[in-house]
Structures are given as C-alpha cells and as structure tokens.
C-alpha cells in the first residue's frame, strides 16, 4: 500500500465520522520524512484548503520549526482525525477510534524516526495515558521503537504569548532545541517499523 492508496481509503465514508466535515485533510510532506508531526484534527482553514496547519496556528508552527533550522518541507504533518469536527470541538472517542487506523498506517509507510504530538488529544492516544500536555510537554517516550515527544499545540501558544523564562513559549523553545538536536543524530531507517496494532484490531 502507498500513501496515495491510504488517502483513497481514508476518503471513504464511515458512519462513526458522519458528524465531521466531508473534506479530507490527509497529511502533507515527504513520504520518507524523519520527523512526523501529529495534531488532533483540522480547523476551519485546514478544512477549506485540504492541508494541515495552514491557519494562524500553522503559521506559528512554521516559525517554530524555522527557529531551530527545521524545514517544514522535509517534515510530514498530519492529524489524528482527518476531518474537521463541528465548531472545532475536540474529536470524540468514537471518532478517534475510527480514525486511528489510518494514522497507524501513515506511520508504518513513512517510518519516521521521531513523532512530535501537538496537544492533549494525540499525546494521550499515542501514550495511552490520562496525563495532560502541561506535564508531558518536552519529555521523551518510546512508541514502537520510534522516539516520541509531546509538545504544546501552537494554538495554546497563541493564547499564551509571553516569552518569559518558564512560560509555555520558553518551554517550547527549549523542547524544540532538544528535538532538533536529537533528530540530527538519527540515522536513516534501515528496516520496516514494527507497530503493535493490538489497540487497532478490527478497524479494517
């Protein structure tokens, strides 16, 4: 299966996603990216454009990446849920369950060395925890042999603009420097990613 095949599969209607937008926002970036960024779900701008993270939060994400010399064109950016929830609400557990199999296959095909999760929703799904992003931000974890770092969602930083030491923007800067330095040491993938799909049984 290729990413193009997977995108066609993701575009098929599902009853569990009936409340979401009809527009698919699948993902954006090279299919061999070493870094994969995963948000929760598209917003209005993303819904209209068909690309993830293009609104104000996405523009801030671009600046954050540039600040540590990371090129968004070399990064794969996507969301856990591929369609916009009404009113930009958080996706429901049913919507997450119906969408997560597509994300797992994206990871399997792209084989990133690092996954960065933005905000509570994707972080809690990947790590299977109840802890919030304020506790987990900037910490390293292992997910099926892939390094994973939870990060604040850029929308949260827009609401907390202070650059004072210890504030969310300062914490983000410190975490991004760590992520970029670690990414620079990562070798290219030498074999397929072995993902435990026990949590996704029955999705296909």
pLDDT at 194: 73
Question: Is a pLDDT exceeding 60 seen at residue 115?
Answer: yes
Q: Residue 73 has what DSSP assignment?
A: G
Q: What is the mean pLDDT of the chain?
A: 94
| pTM for the structure as a whole | 0.93
Structural domains of the chain, with CATH: 3-186 (3.40.470.10)
Question: What radius of gyration do the chain's Cα atoms show?
Answer: 16
d(CA 53, CA 78): 8
Tens digits of residue pLDDT in 86-100: 999 999 999 999 999
């Amino acid at each position: 299966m290729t990413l193009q095949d997977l995108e066609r599969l993701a575009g098929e209607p599902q009853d569990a996603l009936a409340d979401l937008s009809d527009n698919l926002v699948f993902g954006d970036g090279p299919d061999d990216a070493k870094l994969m960024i995963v948000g929760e779900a598209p917003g209005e701008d993303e819904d209209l454009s068909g690309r993830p993270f293009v609104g104000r939060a996405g523009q801030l994400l671009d600046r954050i990446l540039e600040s540590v010399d990371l090129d968004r064109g070399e990064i794969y950016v996507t969301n856990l849920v591929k369609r916009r929830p009404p009113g930009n609400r958080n996706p429901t557990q049913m919507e997450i369950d119906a969408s997560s199999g597509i994300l797992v296959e994206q990871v399997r095909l792209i084989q990133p060395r690092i996954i960065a999760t933005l905000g509570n929703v994707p972080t809690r799904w990947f790590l299977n925890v109840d802890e919030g992003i304020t506790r987990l931000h900037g910490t390293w974890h292992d997910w099926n042999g892939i390094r994973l770092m939870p990060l604040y969602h850029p929308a949260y930083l827009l609401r907390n603009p202070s650059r004072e030491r210890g504030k969310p923007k300062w914490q983000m800067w410190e975490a991004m420097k760590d992520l970029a330095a670690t990414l620079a040491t990562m070798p290219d993938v030498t074999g397929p990613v072995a993902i435990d799909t026990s949590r996704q049984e029955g999705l296909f």
